[in-house]
Amino acid sequence: MMSQSSAWRCSVCGYVHRGDQPPAMCPICGAGREEFQAYVEPEASPLAATAWRCLNCNYEQAGADAPEVCPVCGAAKDRFEPEAPAPAVEQAGKDVGRILIVGAGIAGISAVEAIRRSAPDAEIVLISKETEGPYYRLNLTRYLAGEVGTDDLPLRPREWFAEQRIDFRAGLEVAELSPANRTATLRGGEAIAFDTAILAMGAHPFVPPFGGATLDGVHCLRTLDNAQEILAAAKAGEAGVVIGGGLLGLETAGALAKRGADVTLLESHAYLMPRQLNRTAGELLAARVRELGINLLTEARTDQIVGDETVAGVALRDGRMVSAGLVIVATGVRPNSYLARRAGLEVDSGVVVNGRLRTSAPHVLAAGDVAEHLGRLYGHWAASQYQGGIAGMNAVGVDAEFGGLPPSSTLKVMDVDVVSMGISDPEDGSYDVIEDLRDDVYRRFVFHDGGLVGAILFGDASVGSAARHAIETRTDLSALLASRPNAVDVADYFAAQ
């Protein structure tokens, strides 16, 4: 049985790490061990005569008092309200049968952990297409940069799965899923029966339909195998091109530059990260990128990748040619929804789920990058971790609901703190924007109806966790706004929380 374990929360970005000790480095934002604080994670329990409901995510906890911290979303004790007993539902502790989890990324592992906490006797089968054990995918760019080694990547050691009585099968792929028969058929023909299934297959790189994408020397970065292939191909001093100036493109370009490569980064928009940043922050980031020795080209739209059998460069639509012996395509991802679509589940861009992360088939749930909730694909680590835990709880009858998360992005390779969350660049005048730029530190706070709804922090992200908490809990900040604060005042307020 997996007993109540130690957990640690990053004070910068909110990432929750489970283990006896905090990690040496946060896999999301790069904060050091000293930025982690002990995190109380109570056991999930069935509803009793006295129960408490989290106002953020609807997690329900039995007991005479509310928990200090919500184990699902991290909300504080004051975000719980007393709740009358609910109608009986299947609860943890009863025979929940066999639960099949397809995918061993953070969503799948979080589901496993939630199931084992809530239902110690549940039979768990975990299928992973990758041959490696589960690992921190966010650390792949740090691995490229030489900042961490393969020993720093695993989410859980292999022996943990045996200790927790988890039937972990690596290097296998589910080829067919039958929700009606509750069976999954592996590529080799083996059929696995299940009582409940959780789909956590993640996503795959999206490569635009330009020519030359299959040439030798063209890569994407999504898996550890991809990272090792890139390292084998990268040579110090050799010209490399990264197509795409989003989070992954920036981190990949920064990692290759640290390895000594001559890197050109291509961004099709006028400034970097237009989905997460405004022009001011985007241009500050561009200046930092160039300081690292990266040749940044904005409004650079790829026409095709050129070469015979091996890549020779990238041709742009404006006629320019960028020579390169290595090209990394970092133009986004798409959900791995093919299995669900073939199974007859409702699929839009991703596998459509409700607030309890159930799909159109009652005994099949989905979480992480493959799941689409209220028309939205989150595509980031925190949401996948959060959704995986909720899916695992619901799979064993512990009622929990995913209420959504504000968009959030954190750079972790460029040697500068950049955090974007929520609505950071509103398009109408109904929002109050408080911003300030001084000493290469840019702060932008966006308020609406007395509450914080978004922020951009560049150069100093120390109040990121408190700001994110204010957004997620819809904290009333009317009194703060009444004092007509500047951006430094707002940052000081959050620093004191």
DSSP notation for 318-332: TS-EEE-SEEEE-S-
**Which of the given ranges, 72-76, 132-136, 341-345, has the highest pLDDT on average?**
341-345
Q: Which of 36-40, 73-77, 165-169, 329-333 has the lowest mean pLDDT?
A: 73-77
Q: What is the mean pLDDT of residues 76-103?
A: 67
Beta sheet of 16-18, edge-to-edge order: 16-18, 7-10, 36-38
Question: How wide is the angle at C-alpha 100 spanned by C-alphas 95 and 101, nearest 5°?
Answer: 130
CB burial class (10 A; 0-12, 13-18, 19+) of residue 351?
Answer: buried
Q: What is the mean pLDDT of residues 440-460?
A: 96
Higher pLDDT, 424 or 71: 424
Question: Is the model's pLDDT at 5 over the cut of 60?
Answer: no
Question: Is the model's pLDDT at 440 over the cut of 70?
Answer: yes
Residue at 415: amino acid letter: D
Torsion angles phi and psi, residue 186, rounded to 5: -75, 165
Question: Is the model's pLDDT at 15 over the cut of 80?
Answer: no
Q: How confident is the model at residue 409 (pLDDT cuts 50, 70, 90)?
A: confident
Q: What share of the chain is helix, strand, coil (3-state, %, to 5)?
A: 25, 30, 45
| Mean pLDDT (the chain, rounded) | 87
Q: How confident is the model at residue 319 (pLDDT cuts 50, 70, 90)?
A: very high
Give residue 44's Cα distance to chain centre.
23
How far is Cα 280 from Cα 298, in angstroms, rounded to an integer? 15
Question: Is the model's pLDDT at 44 over the cut of 80?
Answer: no
Torsion angles phi and psi, residue 164, rounded to 5: -95, 10
Going by C-beta distance under 8 Å and a sequence separation of 6 or more, which residues neighbour residue 427? Answer: none
How far is Cα 47 from Cα 393, in angstroms, rounded to an integer? 13
Q: What is the mean pLDDT of residues 373-399?
A: 92
Q: What is the mean pLDDT of residues 195-218?
A: 97
| CB contact burial 180-218 (16+ within 10 A = b; e otherwise) | eebebeeeeeeebebebbbbbbbbebebeebebbebebb
Question: Is the model's pLDDT at 76 over the cut of 70?
Answer: no
Tell me, what's the pLDDT at 391? Answer: 97
Q: What Å distances lie between residue 236 and 69, 251, 425, CA to CA?
A: 48, 17, 39
pLDDT tens for 149-194 read 999 899 888 899 999 999 999 999 999 999 999 999 999 999 999 9
Q: What is the mean pLDDT of residues 429-453?
A: 96
- 85: DSSP letter: P
Write 75-81 long-range contacts (CB < 8 A, 24+).
Answer: 75/472, 75/473, 76/469, 76/473, 79/54, 79/55, 79/473, 80/52, 80/53, 80/54, 80/55, 81/52, 81/53, 81/55
Torsion angles phi and psi, residue 57, rounded to 5: -120, 0
Give the torsion sign (CA, 167, 172, 178, 181): negative
Q: What is the mean pLDDT of residues 195-220?
A: 97
Higher pLDDT, 453 or 47: 453
Q: Classify strands 364-366 and 239-243 as parallel, antiparallel or unpaired.
A: unpaired
pLDDT tens for 347-371 read 999 999 999 999 999 999 999 999 9
Q: Which of 19-33, 93-107, 398-412, 427-441 has the lowest mean pLDDT?
A: 19-33
Element holding 489 (H helix, E strand): helix 487-495
Tell me, what's the pLDDT at 260? Answer: 92
Tell me, what's the pLDDT at 40? Answer: 64
Give the torsion sign (CA, 403, 339, 364, 173): negative
How far is Cα 116 from Cα 3, in angstroms, rounded to an integer? 9
- 147: DSSP letter: S
Q: At what angle do helices 106-118 and 381-395 cross, to 10 degrees?
A: 30
Element holding 159 (H helix, E strand): helix 158-163
Tell me, what's the pLDDT at 91? Answer: 45
Give the torsion sign (CA, 308, 309, 314, 318): positive
Question: Is the model's pLDDT at 386 over the cut of 80?
Answer: yes
pLDDT tens for 229-273 read 999 999 878 899 999 999 899 999 999 999 999 999 999 999 999
Q: How many CA atoms lie within 13 A of 202 on its CB side?
A: 22
Cα Dmax for the chain? 72
Q: What is the mean pLDDT of residues 185-211?
A: 97
Tell me, what's the pLDDT at 88? Answer: 35
- Domains of the chain, first to last: 7-83 (2.20.28.10), 98-204+334-395 (3.50.50.60), 218-331 (3.50.50.60), 417-495 (3.30.390.30)
Q: What Å distances lie between residue 444 and 2, 175, 275, CA to CA?
A: 43, 47, 15
Tell me, what's the pLDDT at 24? Answer: 74
Q: What is the mean pLDDT of residues 114-128?
A: 95
How far is Cα 473 from Cα 453, in angstroms, rounded to an integer? 10
Tell me, what's the pLDDT at 355? Answer: 93
Question: Is the model's pLDDT at 408 over the cut of 90?
Answer: no
Q: How many CA atoms lie within 13 A of 115 on its CB side?
A: 30
The structure tokens listed for 242 are 């990264």
| CB contact burial 396-427 (16+ within 10 A = b; e otherwise) | bbbbbbbbebbbbbbbbbbebbbbbbbbbbbe
Q: Classify strands 371-373 and 351-353 as parallel, antiparallel or unpaired.
A: parallel
Tell me, what's the pLDDT at 413? Answer: 55
Q: How confident is the model at residue 393 (pLDDT cuts 50, 70, 90)?
A: very high
